[in-house]
Structure formats: C-alpha cells, structure tokens
C-alpha cells in the first residue's frame, strides 16, 4: 500500500490557501490606502516594512509560545490576531493608526507561520516531508495568484472592503483548522511538557541547519524582497513597458514556481534534499543575474520563468531539512523561529540593497548581487550532510494507530528499516 499524507496536512494546505487569497486581496491596496493620508513614498514603504520588522522581532517569542502552548493553539490565536489587526487597519483614521494596526498583524503573522511549519513537521512522516512542504507552499502560492483577481473586484466597493474581506477569510481559515484538528489525535499527541524540545543552540551546531539558514536568507532577499520591489520598476523604467506587463512577469515567475513545487517535494523525498536544493539555488541565482541583463520583454519573461522554477525547486527541500534537523525531538519552536527570522531578514535587506545598487550603479548590478547571494548559499549546502531519513525514525506520526488511515503502511511497520519511504525488513 502506498503511503498517504495525513489528513491533517491537507487541512493545513487548505488553510494556507485561504490565508493567501486574503493576503493577495489586501496587498495591492495597502500602498493606495496609505497614500490617502497624504504621506510620501518613504512613509508608504514603511507601512510595508513595519509588518516584516515586527515579524522579525516577534519570531523568538512565537517559538517559545509554540513550545509552551502547542502549535494548534498558537496557530489559531495568530490567525485571529491578524484578522483583528487587518480589519481595524481598514478603518484607520490616520497614518500612525494604520502603522500600529499593521504592526499588531505582524505579531499574529509570525505566530501562525511558525506554528504552521512546526505542526506540519510534527505530523508528517519523515520520508514525506518534502512533499508536504511542497503542498503547503503551493497552497500559499496559488492563493496569492487568485487573491489580486478577487481584490480587483472588491476595490471599487471601497478601500476598506479588501481589509474586511481578508479578516473574514482569516476567520474562516481559523475555523477550518479548529473544526478539523480539535479531535485529531495526531495533532494533539505532542504534550507541552518541556521534554524533547530542541533548543536553537543545538540546531546551530548542525551544518544542514546552516545551509537552510543561508538559502533561506538568500531566498528571502531574492524572492520576497527583490522580486516584489525591483522587478516592477525594472520593467517600467529599463524595459519601457507598462505596469500591466510588470504584473504579468511576476505571474510568470509564480507559474514557474508552482510548476516545480510538487516535483521538487517528491524528488527531495526520493533522491535527497541536497541535490534538489543545490539545483534550485544555482538555477535561481543564474536566472536572477540573467534578468538584469535582458534587453526585451520576451527574454525577461523567460528569465522570470526560469528563476521561478529555481525558487520552486528550493523551497520543499529547504523546509524539509529544518524538519530533519528537529527530527524525532517533536518540537523545535525556537529552531523554526530562527529560520523564519533569517528569511524575513533577507526580505528586509533585499529591497534596500537592491534599491541602493540600482540608484548608485545600475539595475544590472542590483540583479547580479542578488543572484550572487543565491549562488553563495550553494557553498553551505555542499558541506552539509544529507538529512533524508534512510531508516524508520521515531516520529510523532508513528504513534497514531493504523486504523486512523492517515499513514497507510508506515504505521504498520514499527520495526525494520525504511529506504526512500518503503519498508525494508531487517532480514532483507
């Protein structure tokens, strides 16, 4: 019998899609709403940055909360905090008030992000972590593609409508998680008694964790930072194209990303994390450099597509490695928070450095340095050990009875070894 992902994983994937649709609805409206208060471009940019800065600052606390109260509780609480902060931001009477509500939403955002990744790690059988990570990332990506389409319909109704719509979708996601996980034995197995938690100091000693941090920082710089902040400007100013085509190029990147996520997760669970992560970094890095030296829209679209494919290759094995490092310890809230912080740091530094390089030197220099950051991360992966489990490790999911139907044959083979996700009996 072929192993199946636990039902709880699909619940998290569905919730991630709902959340991402809401984020896609409100993200394009944020700068427009801020500009209504008569502030300058820097103040509008600060509204975007404060969210990431608060996520960065609150991530360690989120990790501790996960260890103390458990992932489901922190996940739901975080989503509801974002919902409240977002809804209130839509009714802000001043720029300062909007900044404060966005900061509150940032607190909730890092809570549910760290909790979601921690729960995904804990409930997924070790040989299937890459596939689970790919599905989870795909839920966010597809939701982000669909969100702006819905937002375009809602904006004419009033600038506050997307904010309230996002808040409503967040409440829906919290309800979905609560209703499906409240009676889940798998999600509730790990009791918050302080035992088996991996401290950050222990994870830091793993070269594989170093590799995940390096690629997470570079990926945050390139994908979450430069792609959003620099690509639209480059298309309009350097390639002399319309803002509409700038949006199309970003959709092309997303399409390449989505196309590789499922394949990447499966290959990472079969061949190993290292080769897939290295391939993703190399492809993404070279394509990012290529983007800066394109002279027309068609070759820029091609470069965007390839860069998106590289990013899609990288994400699942990168997340799977963090999960492998935590392994059978069950919980690693601070470890997950550290990884999230480094990624957010890249997303903060990326746009700033890209803007400075474009202003002082050229767009080519900006894209080249961003691509170089991705390529430099390859060195960390070359010296890191392969973490793909080659035998049956003690895992929270293994404690669920086979009658639950979540794990297929994995729950039926408590002993023996497992290679590539298939059971191998000791005498084999």
* Tens-digit pLDDT profile for residues 129-159: 777 777 777 777 777 777 767 776 776 777 7
What pairs with residue 423 in β-bridges? 418
Token pair for 29: 């409206």
Contact 380, 210 (CB under 8 A): yes
Share of the chain above pLDDT 70, in %: 78
Quote the pLDDT of residue 131. Answer: 75
Give the burial class of 29: count Cβ atoms within 10 A of its Cβ; 0-12 exposed, 13-18 middle, 19 or more buried.
Answer: buried
Q: Fill in the DSSP letter of residue 127.
A: G
- For residue 207, the surrounding DSSP H or E stretch is helix 207-219
Q: What are phi and psi of 264, to 5 degrees?
A: -60, -45
Instruction: Report DSSP letters for 209-278, one per residue.
Output: HHHHHHHHHHHIIIIIIIHHHTHHHIIIIIS---HHHHHHHHHHHHHHHHHHHHHHHHHHHHT-HHHHHH
Radius of gyration (C-alpha) of the chain in whole angstroms:
21
Of 137, 128, 122, 169, whose CA–CA distance to 24 is shortest?
169
Q: Which residues contact 41 (CB under 8 A, 6 or more apart)?
A: none
Q: Which two tokens stand for residue 373?
A: 């950051």
Please give the residue that has the higher pLDDT: either 293 or 68: 293
Of residues 91 and 358, more confidence is placed in: 91
Give start-end residues of each CATH 1.20.1250.20 domain in the chain. Answer: 1-182, 197-389
- Token code pair at residue 317: 């094995």
Tell me how far apart the alpha carbons of residues 334 and 100 are, in angstroms, rounded to a whole number. 26
Cβ burial, residue 9 (10 Å; 0-12/13-18/19+) = buried
* 277 pLDDT more than 90: yes
Residue 1 above 50 pLDDT?
no
Higher pLDDT, 404 or 264: 264
Tell me how far apart the alpha carbons of residues 122 and 131 are, in angstroms, rounded to a whole number.
14
Checking if the pLDDT of 174 tops 70, the result is: yes
| Residue listed under structure tokens 């298939």 | 422
Phi then psi for 284, rounded to 5 degrees? -65, -40
What are residue 331's phi and psi, to 5 degrees? -125, 145
- Burial string for 116-125 (b: 16+ CB within 10 Å, else e) reads bbbbbbbbbb
CATH superfamily of 1-182: MFS general substrate transporter like domains (1.20.1250.20)
In this structure, the number of other CB atoms found within 10 A of the CB of residue 342 comes to: 21
The pLDDT tens digits of the residues spanning 315-356 come to 888 888 888 887 755 566 678 778 888 888 887 787 777 777
User: What's phi and psi for 419, nearest 5 deg?
Assistant: -120, 120
Q: What pLDDT, on a 0 to 100 scale, did the predictor assign at position 173?
A: 86
Determine whether domain 197-389 maps to CATH 3.40.50.1100: no
Give the integer Cα–Cα distance in Å for 173 and 361. Answer: 45
Q: What is the mean pLDDT of the chain?
A: 77
Confidence (pLDDT) at 282: 96
**Separation between Cα atoms, residue 4 and residue 203, nearest integer Å:** 29
Specify the DSSP class assigned to residue 418.
E
What is the rounded distance in angstroms from the CA atom of residue 107 to the CA atom of residue 77?
A: 10
CA 285 from centroid of its chain's CA atoms: 19
Judge whether 350 and 222 are in contact, CB under 8 Å.
Answer: yes
Residues in Cβ contact with 148 at an 8 Å cutoff, skipping those fewer than 6 apart: 24, 25, 27, 28
Which runs of consecutive H residues, i.e. helices, occur in 327-362? Answer: 333-360
Tell me how long the chain is: 428
Alpha carbon of residue 289 to chain centroid: 23
Eight-class DSSP state of 416: S
Q: What is the pLDDT of residue 201?
A: 74
For residue range 112-130, list pLDDT tens digits in order: 888 887 787 777 776 677 7
Q: Which of 40, 48, 166 is nearest to 102 (CA)?
A: 48
Query: How far apart (Å, rounded) are the C-alpha atoms in residues 368 and 231?
Result: 13
- Specify which residues 331 forms β-bridges with: 197
**What's the gap between Cα 341 and its chain centre?**
12
């Amino acid at each position: 019998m072929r192993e199946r992902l636990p039902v709880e994983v699909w619940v998290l994937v569905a919730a991630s899609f709902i959340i991402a649709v809401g984020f896609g609805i409100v993200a394009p409206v944020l700068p427009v709403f801020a500009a209504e208060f008569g502030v300058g471009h820097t103040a509008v940019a600060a509204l975007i940055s404060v969210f990431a800065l608060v996520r960065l600052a609150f991530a360690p606390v989120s990790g501790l909360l996960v260890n103390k109260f458990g992932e489901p509780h922190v996940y739901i609480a975080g989503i509801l905090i974002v919902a409240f902060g977002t809804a209130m931001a839509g009714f802000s009477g001043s720029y300062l008030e909007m900044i404060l509500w966005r900061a509150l939403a940032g607190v909730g955002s890092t809570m549910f992000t760290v909790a979601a990744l921690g729960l995904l790690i804990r409930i997924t059988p070790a040989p299937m972590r890459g596939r689970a990570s790919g599905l989870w990332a795909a839920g966010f990506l597809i939701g982000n593609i669909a969100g702006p389409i819905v937002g375009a319909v809602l904006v004419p109704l009033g600038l506050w409508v997307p904010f309230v719509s996002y808040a409503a979708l967040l409440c829906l996601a919290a309800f979905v998680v609560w209703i499906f996980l409240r009676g889940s034995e798998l999600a509730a197995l790990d009791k918050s008694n302080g035992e088996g938690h991996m401290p950050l100091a222990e994870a830091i000693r793993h070269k594989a964790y170093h590799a995940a941090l390096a690629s997470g920082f570079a990926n945050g710089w390139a994908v979450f930072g430069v792609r959003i902040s620099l690509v639209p400007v480059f298309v309009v100013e350097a390639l002399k194209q319309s803002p509409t085509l700038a949006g199309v190029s970003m959709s092309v990147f997303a399409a390449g990303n989505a196309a590789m996520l499922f394949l990447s997760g499966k290959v990472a669970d079969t061949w190993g994390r290292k080769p897939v992560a290295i391939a993703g970094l190399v492809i993404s890095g070279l394509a990012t450099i290529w983007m800066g030296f394109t002279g027309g829209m068609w070759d820029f679209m091609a470069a965007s597509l390839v860069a998106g494919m590289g990013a899609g290759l990288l994400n699942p094995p990168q997340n799977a490695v963090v999960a492998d490092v935590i392994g059978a310890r069950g919980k690693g809230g601070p470890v997950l928070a550290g990884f999230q912080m480094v990624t957010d740091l890249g997303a903060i530094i990326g746009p700033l450095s890209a803007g400075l390089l474009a202003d002082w030197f050229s767009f080519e220099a900006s894209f080249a340095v961003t691509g170089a950051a991705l390529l430099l991360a390859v060195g960390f992966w070359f010296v890191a050990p392969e973490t793909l489990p080659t035998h049956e490790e003690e895992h929270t999911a293994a404690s669920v009875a086979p009658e639950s139907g979540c794990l297929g044959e994995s729950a039926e083979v408590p002993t023996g070894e497992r290679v590539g996700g298939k059971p191998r009996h000791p005498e084999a």
